[in-house]
């Protein structure tokens, strides 16, 4: 009897194993066949392997560390302007199509899988619904509009002078300064002041807060992994923190970043309740999160966790792109004496009264060469290098002979727009003079560092003001003399797409001496 039971159990176990093995083989094969032959994207051109499985993209973006954008570029060269780049998504490389994808006057949705899994879900950027996105973004807009940024001029000038003073104090000390760290501290302090008040500032750190730079870049570099495995963050959250820190010591910085954002939100909430209790009117110079708690934002959108996600996004986004662009432009100014001399000459009159007065952004916008430098820097640093997929929820998108079905994500990349050799001759060269005089309208058509449409970059006015002000102050005729230290073009040229572009991963940063 025992022998019969053992045989029966062995047979059942074998049957289960065979069934599981068969399912593990048949299901992926069947799914691949469906995607290749019956999916609503089956007729679009592109590599069959990319259409069959998301592992193709994961290999290039995660294992090869942000290299899929260059594969997409090759796909467009081989297959044409529209390509299926994974089982669910299309890419277009055609500047004439840009305004049909990134629209303002009709509903457009975020693609659910776009940077999903990095714990920013609930922020306005990752909100799928068109209507909910508008409700979440609207209370933020007054702080980032042109008028809002103009009102920030005194604060911006103060932080600009603080960074300039820190750098000038190091004159003749032979200290090697990581300019990318300094710019991260600078832009981090500005977005920090906008979000809340009275906090310890990054520019007070003797080494320009390298831990802030590191945590932001750790988040950026984790995007491909967590997007490929969005459940990973949920799994990690179930593991005791001590175990996670033992296995991944660097996660301590991310935990501290998340906690800091939530603590500040809770503090703003407590201060708003105290203000209400005392019937104190809101200060005109109040911070963004104090304003949110006094706005008409629905109570359902004011949960501590959601606003903490919004805070994390604003802090990270408000730091990394501006700092990257400043480091990029600064390298070319310091590496090219002709560029530096021409800039100093243009700044001579407008900076004549510094430090008694920092010129306003509106005045610096009228300086052609400064703005040409900024445009060329944004063109080659891209803002966001990654494609930004959009979904049309109501109507199909018509593109040439193609009809893109409702609900299909389709994206375009600033990298491809800004690298078009027909529009920008010698596209990889830093040539600010291309933006002077009578320029080809196609250059402005292709120039999309802040994206377009209803989901364009919230902070573009702030970024342009920050960049204009700090470049004018640092590279004015009477400014300090900076010298590059063991830094070359490979330390700034974009080599990896982690949503935000990064140079070679073993770079030691943009390093300078102050003479």
Taking only the tens place, the pLDDT of each residue in 446-485 is 999 999 999 999 999 999 999 999 999 999 999 999 999 9
Taking only the tens place, the pLDDT of each residue in 175-191 is 999 999 999 999 999 99
Angle at 322 between CA 160 and CA 222, to 5 degrees: 135
Helix pair angle (460-474, 368-381), 10° resolution: 120
**Segments in 200-335 forming alpha helices (H):** 210-228, 231-238, 241-247, 251-278, 288-292, 304-335
- CA dist 163 and 158 (Å) reads 9
In this structure, the strands spanning 409-411 and 89-92 are: parallel
- Residue pair 234/226 in contact by the 8 Å Cβ criterion: no
Taking only the tens place, the pLDDT of each residue in 323-372 is 999 999 999 999 999 999 999 999 999 999 999 999 999 999 999 999 99
pLDDT at position 49: 96
Element spanning 194, H or E = helix 179-195
CB-based burial, 182-204: b 16+ in 10 Å, e otherwise:
bbbbbbbbbbbbbbbbeeebbbe
Whether residue 494 is predicted with pLDDT greater than 90 in this model: the reply is yes
pLDDT at position 26: 80
In this structure, the strands spanning 500-502 and 482-484 are: unpaired
Taking only the tens place, the pLDDT of each residue in 244-288 is 667 666 666 677 788 888 888 898 888 878 877 776 655 555 789
Domains of the chain with bracketed CATH: 131-386+444-514 (1.10.630.10)
């Amino acid at each position: 009897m025992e022998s019969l039971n053992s045989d029966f159990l062995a047979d059942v176990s074998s049957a289960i194993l065979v069934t599981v093995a068969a399912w593990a083989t048949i299901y992926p094969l069947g799914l691949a066949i469906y995607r290749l032959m019956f999916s609503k994207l089956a007729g679009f051109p592109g590599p069959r392997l990319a259409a069959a499985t998301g592992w193709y993209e994961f290999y290039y973006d995660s294992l090869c560390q942000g290299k899929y954008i260059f594969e997409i570029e090759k796909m467009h060269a081989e297959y044409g302007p529209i390509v299926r780049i994974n089982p669910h998504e299309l890419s277009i490389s055609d500047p004439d199509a840009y305004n049909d994808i990134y629209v303002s006057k009709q509903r457009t949705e975020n693609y659910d899988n776009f940077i999903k899994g990095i714990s920013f879900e609930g922020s306005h950027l990752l909100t799928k619904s068109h209507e909910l996105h508008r409700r979440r973004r609207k209370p933020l807009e007054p702080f980032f509009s042109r008028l809002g940024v103009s009102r920030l001029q005194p604060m911006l000038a103060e932080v600009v002078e603080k960074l300039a003073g820190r750098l000038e104090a190091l004159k003749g000390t032979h200290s090697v300064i990581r300019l990318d760290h300094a710019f991260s501290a600078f832009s981090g302090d500005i977005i920090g002041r906008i979000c809340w008040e009275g906090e310890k500032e990054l520019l007070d750190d003797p080494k320009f807060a390298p831990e802030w730079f590191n945590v932001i870049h750790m988040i950026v570099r984790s995007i491909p992994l967590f997007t490929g495995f969005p459940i990973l963050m949920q799994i990690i959250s179930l593991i005791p923190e001590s175990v996670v820190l033992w296995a991944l010591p660097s996660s301590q910085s991310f935990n501290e970043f998340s906690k800091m954002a939530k603590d500040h939100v809770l503090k703003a909430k407590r201060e708003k309740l105290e203000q209400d209790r005392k019937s104190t009117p809101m200060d005109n110079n109040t911070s963004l999160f104090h304003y949110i708690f006094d706005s008409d934002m629905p109570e359902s959108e004011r949960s501590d966790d959601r606003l903490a996600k919004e805070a994390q996004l604003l802090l990270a986004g408000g730091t990394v792109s501006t700092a990257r662009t400043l480091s990029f432009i600064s390298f070319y100014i310091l590496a090219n004496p002709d560029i530096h001399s021409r800039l100093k000459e243009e700044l001579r009159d407008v900076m004549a009264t510094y430090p008694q007065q920092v010129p306003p952004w509106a005045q610096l916008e009228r300086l052609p060469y400064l703005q040409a430098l900024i445009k060329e820097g944004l063109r080659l640093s891209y803002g966001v290098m990654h494609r930004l997929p959009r979904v049309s929820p109501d109507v199909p998108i018509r593109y040439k002979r193609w009809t893109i079905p409702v609900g299909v994500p389709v994206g375009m990349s600033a990298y491809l727009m800004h690298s078009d050799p027909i529009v920008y001759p010698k596209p990889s060269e830093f040539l600010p003079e291309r933006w002077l005089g009578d320029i080809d309208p196609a250059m402005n058509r292709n120039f999309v560092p802040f994206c377009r449409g209803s989901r364009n970059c919230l902070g573009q006015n702030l970024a342009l003001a920050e960049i204009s002000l700090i470049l004018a102050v640092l590279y004015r005729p009477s400014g300090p003399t900076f010298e590059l230290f063991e830094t070359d073009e490979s330390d700034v040229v974009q080599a990896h797409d982690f949503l935000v572009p990064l140079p070679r991963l073993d770079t030691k940063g943009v390093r300078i001496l102050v003479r």
